[in-house]
Amino acid sequence: MSDVTRHYGSQGIVGRILAAVPGYSEDAFQLSAHHFFPFDQLHGRELQATREHAEKLAPRRDQRVLDIGSGIGGPARFLATTYGCRVTGVDLTPEFVAAANELSALCGLSDRVHFEHTDASRLPFEANSFDRAICFYVGMNVRDEAGVVAEAFRVLKPGGRIVWTEATLTGKGEPVYPLPWAKDQGMSFLVAPADLRAMFQAAGFVIDEVIDESAAHVEFARERAASRMVSTDAHQEANELVLGQDLIERRKNYIRNLSDGTLASTLIVAHKP
């Protein structure tokens, strides 16, 4: 078992989510992907970021999308539900893959989304198989990130687009741990934005946009903190529900690092020429 798998994996994910869905009853309740959206977006800014990044991806109904590091499948189900595309997710954590497939079956999306347990640096897909690809906050856990980017390039069709986000190092000091993706530096493989751009260019991608989303993350955290002062809405506990209560401290450290400029949140939009 890898350090990443130990960090993220836990039992009972689906049961915890179903227990948190307001009014859910197994006997008289028709689930949809929308019921899970408050709980299955396991990345910074959650559903808000998924919506924004999906707009940049803009898949068509007839297209195939690859979700690299798909977690429990939230963004994949959002894309399939919103755009009608077909999505294949890959993840290194077996518990995430199992939960992603089960949640998708529960809301009737098994014909449009599917998840596989595999290493993203060695994808089991033929070249030129996908029209679009996404990768939300995965790179920080990947030792061979250049290999993952190269594989994404290989499996994308010419003209295919990728939307990629991750936390990056600014060079203004060492980040404070623990962080959402790592309890210490041993499993954190942060790179500078310039190095991330270079990986994409070396793989053959043409970069269309590079956006610093740090301020948006800090503002999202402030808004959530303010809402918690006036509400006990379980939706506000989304990521803790899946990743554990210690995520609260880890997320605070992340926002602290963004606020003091030690880390940045970098978005890249690129395409395969």
Q: How many domains does the chain fold into?
A: 1
- Res. 89 pLDDT band, cuts 50 70 90: very high
The residues near 76 (Cβ < 8 Å, ≥ 6 apart) are 65, 67, 70, 87, 89, 100, 104, 113, 115
Burial class (CB in 10 A: 0-12, 13-18, 19+), 23: exposed
* pLDDT on residue 3: 56
pTM, 2 dp: 0.92
The one-letter amino acid at 5:
T
Q: Which domain holds residue 34?
A: 3-271
Please report the sign of the dihedral spanned by the C-alpha atoms of residue 53, residue 57, residue 61, residue 62.
negative
Whether 227 shows a pLDDT value over 70: the answer reads yes
Q: Average pLDDT, stretch 38-66?
A: 95
Burial class (CB in 10 A: 0-12, 13-18, 19+), 118: middle
Mean pLDDT of all residues belonging to the chain: 91
* pLDDT on residue 95: 94
The domain that holds 235 is classified in CATH as: 3.40.50.150
Would you state the structure tokens that stand for residue 109, as one six-digit string? 């999306």
Strand 130-136, strand 263-271: pairing: unpaired
- Res. 236 pLDDT band, cuts 50 70 90: very low
| Tens of pLDDT, residues 202-221 | 999 999 999 999 999 999 99
* pLDDT on residue 231: 46
The answer for 74, left when phi > 0, alpha when psi is -120 to 50, beta otherwise, is alpha
